[in-house]
Structure 1
Amino acid sequence: MRIGELSSRTGVPVPTIKYYVREGLLPPGELSSPNQASYEDSHERRLRLIRALLEVGGLSVAAIREVITAVDDKDKPVHKLLGTVADQLVPSTGRDESDAETALARTKVARLVADRGWAVNPGCRAGEALASALAALSRTGHGRFEEVLETYADAAERVAAADMAFASRASGREDLVESVAVGTVVGDTMFAALRRLAQEDASARAGATP
């Protein structure tokens, strides 16, 4: 197909497609003449993945390039590929925290991971985000909220199992990455909304208790 048809089928403007090619996110089309290139279904799938990571995942072009590189590295195990995606989906705290609260929080996170036998990379973004949240609780005098950490971890394990079961139905590496990226971002929103609904119900039930 020509680039115009690719644009029509994906909803991505032609200049944006050319930009993705220049940035190395999308392979160039096969030249059929000096000024014409032909594109395949694989380009359409790649554009869908890029849009999902950009519009749903909120990733930067640099982060998307890192994910795309992992997708194209056929020697990279699926587990490590998903780890790359997961890391990019967790916002960086943007702070180089080395205070006492953060140091203690990192120790607590490491203990939680070890006690549960979770196979995660030390210093991963998710672990750092959790440590940052625990440190913030401590600084603001709400450290007792850590009492629910184990309950949250139990729920997280069940949700993660559901996520992996959903992702296992993907066909191919790109579809897998798209499923994980979209599922994680949208899943976070869904879980937060479900939590609010459950909180409202729990509050109503508590208020109705004599």
Structure 2
Amino acid sequence: MRIGELAKLTGVSVPTIKYYVREGLLPPGERTSPNQVRYGSAHVRRIKLIRAMLEVGGLSVAAARDVVGELGSPERTVHGMLGVAQSAVTRSAAGRGAGEEWERAEHDVRELVRRRGWAVKPENPGWQALVQIVVTYRDLDREDLLTLLDAYAEAAGRLAEAELAKIAGVAGTDGKAEGVVLGTVLGDAAMAALRRIAQEDASARVQAGYWSA
């Protein structure tokens, strides 16, 4: 198909498709003549994935480029894709801190990981992000919120196991790799959305109990 057909089929404008190609998000089509380029079903699928990452997952173009670059790597593994996807969606901490508070937060996160029995290294992008959160809670004198971390970890552990079990059942490395990307990028967005919904329900129940007391 030509680029106009690709645009019509995907709902993405021709200039945007060309932008995706320039930015390395979308592989160029096959040039069939000096003025014609042909695209295929793989381009349709890739554009849908790009839109999902940018528009729904909220990734930057640079982060999405890293993800699709790994998808196209012949040496990719599902575990490696998970790391790339995690790095793409994890907001970088301000940088490793120093001093007693940071060390204390590092210890707390390490102990949380140990209690869960998780085989995780401090290089995991979520590790330092969580350390930064613990430091921030304490800086705001909200030690009470730290007691929620075990509940968060319990829910996260169950969810991670369910996600990886689902991905393991997908046929082919390509399908598994894409599943990791969508499960991580859109999974974060889905959990945030569901949490907002659940919070409203819980808040309404608490409010109703307060007025009926």
Which category of TM-score, normalised to the shorter sequence, fits these structures?
0.7 to 0.9
CA distance in 1, matches of 2:146, 2:80: 30
Q: Is the 8 A contact 2:96 2:128 kept in 1?
A: no
Name the aligned partner's letter for residue 190 of structure 1: L
CA distance in 1, matches of 2:164, 2:127: 19
Q: Is the 8 A contact 1:21 1:27 kept in 2?
A: yes
CA distance in 1, matches of 2:115, 2:168: 27
Quote the sequence identity (%). Answer: 40
CA distance in 2, matches of 1:50, 1:163: 21
Query: 1:47-196 alignment to 2 at 5 Å?
Result: 47-168=47-168, 172=175, 173-196=177-200
Q: Is the 8 A contact 2:70 2:76 kept in 1?
A: yes
Most deviating of 30-39 and 70-79: 70-79
Query: 1:6-21 alignment to 2 at 5 Å?
Result: 6-21=6-21
- Say whether 1:36 aligns with 2:36: yes
- Say whether 1:2 aligns with 2:2: yes
Distance 1:188 1:144, change over 3 A: same
Q: Is the 8 A contact 2:81 2:180 kept in 1?
A: no
Q: How far off its partner does 1:123 sit? A: 3.0
Most deviating of 177-186 and 165-174: 165-174
Name the aligned partner's letter for residue 79 of structure 1: H
Secondary structure of 1:94's counterpart equals coil
Could you tell me which runs of 5 or more consecutive residues in structure 2 were left unpaired when the two chains were aligned. Answer: none
CA offsets 1:114-173 (integer angstroms, 9 cap, x no match): 221223332322122211111111111111322232222112222323333454565613
Distance 1:106 1:203, change over 3 A: farther
CA distance in 1, matches of 2:99, 2:5: 55
Q: How far off its partner does 1:187 sit? A: 2.2
Secondary structure of 1:32's counterpart equals strand
TM-score normalised by length of structure 1: 0.87
Q: How far off its partner does 1:191 sit? A: 2.3
CA distance in 2, matches of 1:62, 1:148: 33
Could you tell me which runs of 5 or more consecutive residues in structure 1 were left unpaired when the two chains were aligned. Answer: none
CA offsets 1:8-65 (integer angstroms, 9 cap, x no match): 1111111111111112111111111111000000001111111111111111111111
Distance 1:76 1:87, change over 3 A: same
Name the aligned partner's letter for residue 196 of structure 2: A
Most deviating of 46-55 and 157-166: 157-166
Distance 1:95 1:192, change over 3 A: farther
CA distance in 2, matches of 1:67, 1:47: 13
Most deviating of 180-189 and 129-138: 180-189
